[in-house]
Chain A
Amino acid sequence: DAGVIQSPRHEVTEMGQEVTLRCKPISGHNSLFWYRQTMMRGLELLIYFNNNVPIDDSGMPEDRFSAKMPNASFSTLKIQPSEPRDSAVYFCASSRGKGVQEKLFFGSGTQLSVL
């Protein structure tokens, strides 16, 4: 079975550029989560969707960040404009149920470097 698929695996961009990260959740999963991981702050929840609807976006750092889930099999996280402090590993995860206590299946992440 295919797991959660993220692209690209690595992204290097210059400050001010737009960055789009992509995620395909596991088929049949109802919830999708975007996390950011840094050494300083660990793993932080940015936003999560249930049945394609954003439920909690309180972790989105600021207006430069936006996320969409146009259908059950695809989500994007966009940063515009990007800044060096956005450099981190961004993970997408999906789960079967609605609740946050459900088992999360993580993708391999996108390593973002903003120069």
Chain B
Amino acid sequence: EDQVTQSPEALRLQEGESSSLNCSYTVSGLRGLFWYRQDPGKGPEFLFTLYSAGEEKEKERLKATLTKKESFLHITAPKPEDSATYLCAVTGTASKLTFGTGTRLQVTL
């Protein structure tokens, strides 16, 4: 059974204080690892797809990386508007998306 574990559960940063979120996974035949952002009361918003170890993707202050066992979402010089829950999910040979419980990020001034 595919599994995704995200850490930390919650993270509080000051504006400009860079950090990383972790997503550890076990999956049968990785077909894709996905990062989503979810604001309170809203649906998840797609950020990145990573397909193979060594791949990296960037968008503004966010950078996602992938190894054979985990993915990191690096946040560089975060701003308050980056506050949200960040979800990681994987899909394997079963073609089913398995989510982690997310990391709740709060960025303060």
Q: Do A and B come from one complex?
A: no
Q: Which residues of B contact A (CB under 8 A)?
A: none
Q: Which residues of A contact B (CB under 8 A)?
A: none
